[in-house]
């Protein structure tokens, strides 16, 4: 069976490319999706790449992942710093989670230094721009390969 990852993106990430490019870069969300698909194809994984501006929708997708995916890569965007509900959903489905941020949130405003997700994540990648997504996919390949 091919291993499948759910890659989730939170609010405002649909605006990548034009949104504060000095912080988030010039790549669009489509560019990020393409990078993820190329990495997954090369590494022999399936991915489902999604973005939403609606917290409940993201939570529904996390619940559905329980039976459909082997792990979750999530950039929760602003919900990182606000959402107990997303953290609880991730804990409830009990899948390994890697948290990704394009920017180095620790170099930024103090309110971005706290993450509700980090304590329940396997690891956090932040500050590597879009490459963080590829690194997260590579991490899962490493884990899945060592499990075989």
Binding residues for ligand DQA, rule: CB under 6 A, are 12, 75, 77-78, 80, 101-103, 105, 112
Set 24, 26, 54, 113: catalytic member: 24
- For residue 71, the SS3 value is strand
- Quickly list DSSP for 25-51: -S--HHHHHHHHHHHHHHHT-EEEEEE
CB 80 within 8 A of CB 108: no
**Is 12 known to sit in a ligand binding site?**
no
Let me know if 101 is a catalytic residue: yes
Contacts of 65 (CB under 8 A, 6+ apart): 6, 72, 93, 95
Query: Is 88 part of any known ligand binding site?
Result: yes
CB of 93 to ligand DQA, least distance (A): 21
- Would you call 139 a catalytic residue per the annotation? no
Residue 115 annotated in ligand binding:
no
Catalytic machinery residues: 24, 101
Binding residues for substrate: 75, 81, 88, 102-103, 112
């Amino acid at each position: 069976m091919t291993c499948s990852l759910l890659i989730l993106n939170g609010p405002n990430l649909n605006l990548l490319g034009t949104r504060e490019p000095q912080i988030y870069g010039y790549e669009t969300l489509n560019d990020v999706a393409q990078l993820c698909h190329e990495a997954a194809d090369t590494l022999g994984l399936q991915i489902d790449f999604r973005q939403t501006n609606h917290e409940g929708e993201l939570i529904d997708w996390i619940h559905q992942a329980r039976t459909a995916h082997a792990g979750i890569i999530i950039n929760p965007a602003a919900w990182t710093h606000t959402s107990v509900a997303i953290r609880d959903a991730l804990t409830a489905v009990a899948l390994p989670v890697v948290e990704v941020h394009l920017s180095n949130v620790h170099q930024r405003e103090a309110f971005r230094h706290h993450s509700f997700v980090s304590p329940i994540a396997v690891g956090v990648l932040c500050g590597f721009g879009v490459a963080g997504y590829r690194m997260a996919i590579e991490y899962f390949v490493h884990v899945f390969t060592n499990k075989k």
